[in-house]
Structure 1
Amino acid sequence: MTTPVETTVTVAPGVRLWTERRGDPRAPALLLVMGASEPGLSWPDPLVDRLAAHHQVIRYDHRDTGASTRVFDEAPYPLAELAEDAVRVLDALDVDRAHVLGLSMGGILTQLLLADHPDRLRTASLWSTFAMSTTPLRHDDGATTPVEELPGPDEELIGWLSGLTPRPDLEAELDQRVEKWRRMNPGPLPLDAADFRTREERIIAHSGRWDDSWAHALADQSGLLRTDQLAANTVPTLVIEAPADPVVPPVHARHLDQVVGATRLVTIPGLGHAPVRRALDPIADAVLAHTLA
């Protein structure tokens, strides 16, 4: 395994993003796109290492996360701009085409890449994310359910998350972050609290602060639908279903499998919204089977 290479890249005037490359630089690139308000270090190292045995793995901090520029308060941007940032990261690192794995909001951004920049993708993998399409879900009996009637996130969880504020000291902040991940993982796969605490300690040290930004939640979410483009997609796309996810109910994975062209659906039993250690090998196996096919 090669030594990880960290650098910052400029994606817009006054906006610099932290990036890390791991693995053989001659291997096909795999870009990891994280969810809302989460930095690149939220991708667990054991998963990154498994993927980096076959790819040059690139993870990065979105703007307003981690060690990247915090800019939203002075210069608000639409959520779709984060997808363009992903392309700019590839440009800055001289990557012509990449495999892309997106989690949660990162899966939304990956769909925008499929629709707007398919020439930059070798494959796509969508994990626990909503569809950027207005096509209704078709059921086995022939009935359909409009997108707006599909179940949303667990209301109790969303209520708890909306009340989060930075804690007055580090230990209390770490307790709160571990509790967040526990609530996002209500299924049978165990959450190792010590593992997530260590990960969050590293993220805070990397960021130099522990006040999370609400930029991604506040960003303009208009103009995200790509119904026709996703239906016509030809980039091989893996849809990862998380049956125990309280943020993105698993029916949305089936919806993605229907509305996005060239998809294949895989289910990780017990998987929630948290990347717990017990799920990392099955996820890596699924992604690598897809990217190396």
Structure 2
Amino acid sequence: MHRFNSGGVEIAYETAGEGPPILLIHGFASTRRVNWWDTGWVKTLTGAGRRVITFDHRGHGASAKLYDSALYSAAAMAEDARRLLDHLEIPVADVMGYSMGARVAALLAINHPDRLRRVVLAGLASRLITGVGGSEAIAQALEAPSRAQVTDPGARGFRIFAEQTKSDLKALAACIRASRQKITPEELATIRVPVLVVAGEKDDVAGDVQTLVDAIPGAVGVTLPGRNHMNAVGDSGFKQAVLAFLA
């Protein structure tokens, strides 16, 4: 593991393999390891001849923990990703984001199109436009003294996952209050790099794939049968679709 300074915030990252670079951006309450290494993505991509870059978002994993929600906009996290490419002296890379990471990847495509070759937006589809909702309930669940005091089923699921990933619950609460910004169809219409949208058929967090595909010029979409937000990320069909798209 390595670290670099992103505008005053220490960000932890790892690289593996050789070849054309791909930057992987993990989801909320996850880490680079949980989202990409434990699910076999790094092995799959390095086996396909790619240099894989993974990092922990601010407030997550081994990166700096911040407790001010104003420091957790998705745009700020997109700049962390862009600065990591700068730090590694990578002028252009493929990028894949999952869930919150897809929002960050979309903002990279909008704000820094010259730095991206192809983009995969996964685990977040129509709700990137319409909004996900529930942020305050999740924040309160993370701040609750114990899991037993969380009654909202969806928020309780995030609390359980955050505990499983050994996360800083206070930092995640600050993050979720700021990071779920919507991206307008007008902004998405400016994306000019090739985009693949992927989500599970039963993923209520992501929403439907086709709505996001229709909003991005030239985008293509894949819906994973029977998969939800948690079990889609390691799906073999997801991996096959991404390898075909990147090729």
For normalisation by structure 1, the TM-score amounts to 0.69
Q: CA, structure 1 residues 90+63, in 2 after alignment: closer, same or farther (shift >3 Å)?
A: same
Q: How large is the RMSD of aligned CA atoms in angstroms?
A: 3.5
Q: After the TM superposition, which parts of structure 1 deviate over 6 Å for at least 4 consecutive aligned residues?
A: 179-182
1: CA distance between counterparts of 2:88 and 2:21? 10
1:63 alignment partner in structure 2: 58
Larger radius of gyration: 1
Equivalent residues in 2 for 1:166-185, closer than 5 Å: none
- Is the partner of 1:10 in helix, strand or coil? strand
Equivalent residues in 2 for 1:55-204, closer than 5 Å: 55-73=50-68, 76-130=71-125, 147=130, 163-165=141-143, 203-204=165-166
**CA-to-aligned-CA distance 1:251-276 (integer Å, 9 cap, x gap):** 2x111110011211112111211146
Residue from 14, 20, 29 that aligns with 2:21: 29
2:196 alignment partner in structure 1: 238
Q: CA, structure 1 residues 220+65, in 2 after alignment: closer, same or farther (shift >3 Å)?
A: closer
2:178 alignment partner in structure 1: 219
**CA-to-aligned-CA distance 1:104-128 (integer Å, 9 cap, x gap):** 1111111111111111111001112
Stretches of structure 1 lacking an aligned partner (at least 5 in a row): 1-5, 135-146, 185-195
2: CA distance between counterparts of 1:283 and 1:124? 14
- CA drift at 1:210: 6.5
Instruction: Tell whether the 8 Å contact from 2:123 to 2:198 is kept in structure 1 after alignment.
Output: yes
Q: CA, structure 1 residues 132+96, in 2 after alignment: closer, same or farther (shift >3 Å)?
A: farther
**CA-to-aligned-CA distance 1:70-119 (integer Å, 9 cap, x gap):** 12339734331111111011111111111111111111111111111111
1: CA distance between counterparts of 2:60 and 2:94? 23
2:11 alignment partner in structure 1: 17
For normalisation by structure 2, the TM-score amounts to 0.81
Instruction: Tell whether the 8 Å contact from 2:4 to 2:87 is kept in structure 1 after alignment.
Output: yes
1:285 alignment partner in structure 2: 240
The percent identity for this pair of structures is: 28
**CA-to-aligned-CA distance 1:229-255 (integer Å, 9 cap, x gap):** 422422111011311113222x2x111
What amino acid does structure 2 have at the position aligned with 1:281? S
What amino acid does structure 1 have at the position aligned with 2:212? L
Q: CA, structure 1 residues 182+56, in 2 after alignment: closer, same or farther (shift >3 Å)?
A: farther
**CA-to-aligned-CA distance 1:144-170 (integer Å, 9 cap, x gap):** xxx58xxx56x8xx96885345777xx
2: CA distance between counterparts of 1:240 and 1:182? 25
Count of aligned pairs: 240
Q: CA, structure 1 residues 282+91, in 2 after alignment: closer, same or farther (shift >3 Å)?
A: same
Instruction: Tell whether the 8 Å contact from 1:19 to 1:60 is kept in structure 2 after alignment.
Output: yes
2: CA distance between counterparts of 1:233 and 1:58? 23
